[in-house]
Amino acid sequence: MHTVVVGTSGATASDVLAVARGGARIELSAEAVAALAASREIVDALAAKPEPVYGVSTGFGALATRHISPELRARLQRNIVRSHAAGMGPRVEREVVRALMFLRLKTVCSGRTGVRPEVAQTMADVLNAGITPVVHEYGSLGCSGDLAPLSHCALTLMGEGEAEGPDGTVRPAGELLAEHGIRPVELREKEGLALLNGTDGMLGMLVMALADLDLLYKSADVTAALSLEALLGTEKVLAPELHAIRPHPGQAASAANMLAVLKDSGLTGHHQDDAPRVQDAYSVRCAPQVAGAGRDTLAHARLVAERELAAAVDNPVVLPGGRVESNGNFHGAPVAYVLDFLAIAVADLASIAERRTDRLLDKNRSHGLPPFLADDPGVDSGLMIAQYTQAALVGELKRLAVPASADSIPSSAMQEDHVSMGWSAARKLRTAVDNLTRVVAVELYAATRAVELREGLTPAPATRAVVEAVRAAGVGGPGPDRYLAPDLAAADAFVRDGRLVAAVETVTGPLR
């Protein structure tokens, strides 16, 4: 099994994916253990002093003015975890919780939080045992970080609350820890606060969304090319020299992908045949510009994620030289903004894909294809309602594109009077990515059927590879009406697990 070693200098996106989705084991580096011990010595020294230090010997948030006596500090740390574990609603997905815990461990191991090495080791042990705390949908305002979700994770470390075992059964966390020989932690000064105060949930969801969208943008380039081909459009608009004079890198990459898919097609270039067209419609001709802008948005979001992965987010933090300072680095604005930006790009990519699908189904705009790609129009409805479903998904995606980060609800008696709503931005982006996959799948379904209906014309080799692979995957081709939902589900799975891109790349080589 793959092992991820956690050091003091952050983590990579591949580390997050390996732990969250691949079940990789975690080890703490010797450097991390040493840094943990060194920063803990500083916190212990501050705890012994009579002067109050936020998070060490004071209350939290609006209650930070109270100095807490030594005999109450362990209770204080337990209480912050218990009281902040106040989430409600459906359970959050296992991969999200694993990413959340791993990223908190990453910050703890930076040596900037003052947490003892044994607490960090327990976090790693829980992840390695396949124990997943029960975390709920609602409870984070994205400032001070993802408090409620992280609190539910910290509660599991204490042997309290509920967690899911490796067998998928939800049970009391204490029982699961005992079965795996893990001793619950007894939190000391600052440790409860350090386990809660981060942007780890929204960051984990951003990292996973970036991985999913990297595949989806390639998939959308493929389906756009298939639609262009099925509509007998021209590939001349994809020429590299046209995109070089508007030098957006994402646009050039999308155009290059489409051109690779269409190489040696016998369907393209017929736009001057029976019903001459000077230009293809925007949804066809401008596909690289729209998908390319989304790709460039991905690049910006990836840069933000990389910076955040290298960060140590906590309050207060232990600085080099031993200073312990309060700060506002837990605010989720940098992550929240790009999560919302991605949701906008996703909605627009879905919108242009739906317009191409509608064009394939409309006999007045499809340049010779049967109405709704039906076998016997009138007796058969063809893909009429498949496009309805796609349109409903696009409508939902437009609603999900409304920014969460533009909102702020003051909390904690106005001490936390401006919040990021980054967790909410991340949750809706996950739904948006899921629905974009379905939209691309419907376009794939329509475009492959349309290509097969172009009798007497030979599609591109890459297109033929897609049609063969998608039919082998159980997605039916042209013919009389049948129960359509299973076909659409099979097309969705074909896009979602990467088989669409893989089929194309057997001919084109790696897409950009």
Catalytic residue ranges: 54
On the CB side of 53, CA atoms within 13 Å amount to: 23
Give kind and range of the element (H or E) at residue 4. strand 3-6
Round to whole Å and give the CA distance between 107 and 102: 9
Pairing verdict, β 324-325 and 317-318:
antiparallel
Round to whole Å and give the CA distance between 295 and 245: 18
Residue in this structure with the two tokens 């990223």, named with its chain if needed: 103
Which amino acid is residue 235, in one-letter code? E
CB-based contacts of 109, cutoff 8 Å, min separation 6:
6, 7, 8, 28, 29, 32, 35, 36, 120
Round to whole Å and give the CA distance between 504 and 261: 7
> Could you say which DSSP state residue 61 is in?
G
Angle made by CA atoms 387, 390, 394, in degrees to the nearest 5: 135
For residue 151, say if its preceding peptide bond is cis, omega within 30 degrees of 0: no
Round to whole Å and give the CA distance between 10 and 118: 19
On the CB side of 122, CA atoms within 13 Å amount to: 23
> What is the separation of C-alpha 479 from the centre of its chain, rounded to a whole number of angstroms?
37
Round to whole Å and give the CA distance between 148 and 167: 25
Round to whole Å and give the CA distance between 189 and 193: 9
DSSP of 145-164: SSHHHHHHHHHHHTT-SEEE
Cα–Cα nearest to 291, from 207, 362, 223, 203: 223
| Beta-sheet strands, E only, within 70-225 | 88-91, 132-133, 136-138, 162-164, 170-172
Round to whole Å and give the CA distance between 330 and 197: 7
Which amino acid is residue 198, in one-letter code? G
Classify each residue of 312-327 as buried b or exposed e, where b means 16 or more C-beta atoms within 10 Å of its C-beta: bbbbbbbeeeeebeee
**Which phi and psi angles does 133 have, rounded to 5°?**
-55, 150
